[in-house]
Structure 1
Amino acid sequence: MTERYTAVLDRIVDGETAVLLLEDDGTVVDERVLDVDRLPEDGRHEGAVFDVELADDDSLEADDDGPEANDDLETMSYRPSLERDRREEAQDRFDRLSERLSDE
């Protein structure tokens, strides 16, 4: 059985390691660390949004060495339209918060 999540690229460390935040219904529930080379090329930037599928834990071999440790990532697809929508929503929220309150 696979689990599906939305993942956001939080950061790239030293140009080699990517940190993905996994979200379930808009809440961060976990993170995955992997080699940047495993990301789709057009999604190798902070804030990139992906659909990911994770393998069932029972099918994995235990290995705690480096970014590939506990490698349960089965598929990943870049979602540029979802990324754009999320950026626009965040900007709208910021704009509303930065408006002056009325004098009432």
Structure 2
Amino acid sequence: MTLDGTYAATVDRIEEGRAVLLVESDGETVAERHLPEASLPEGAGEGAVLELDFESGDLEDVEYRPEETEDRRERMREKFDRLSRRLGDDEE
């Protein structure tokens, strides 16, 4: 798939100095891209939400989205808390 335009992406993991990005479109993962860890914007690490701009498949720009990152982390914490409470109810 040739990416063209602006996409959201999440830094899935960093391995051996390479960041693995999961590129999203309409909430679905559509591609995986790898970048040198040093190419990530300042403050971006595992779990960070990025905005990627592609032109004919070439990555032109990467921007860190700290507010979106925190929003996603908060939603994940809330899901985890709900699941933890449900699991705790089963133990009683």
**TM exceeds 0.5?**
yes
The C-alpha deviation readout for 1:56-104, integer Å capped at 9, x for no partner, is: 14xxxxxxxxxxxxxx1111110011000000001111111222359xx
Matching of residues 1-104 of structure 1 within 5 Å: 2-14=4-16, 16-43=17-44, 45-57=45-57, 72-100=58-86
Structure 1: 5+ residue stretches without partners: 58-71
Indicate the SS of the match to 1:92: helix
Paired AA for residue 52 in structure 1? L
Taking the aligned partners of 1:32 and 1:89, their CA distance within structure 2 comes to 25
Greater share of strand: 2
Indicate the SS of the match to 1:41: coil
Taking the aligned partners of 1:97 and 1:35, their CA distance within structure 2 comes to 35
Larger Rg: 1
Structure 2: 5+ residue stretches without partners: none
Aligned-residue CA RMSD in angstroms? 1.8
Indicate the SS of the match to 1:9: strand
Kindly, what percent of the aligned residue pairs are identical? 45
Runs (4+) of structure 1 moved beyond 3 Å? none
**TM-score, length-scaled by structure 2:** 0.83
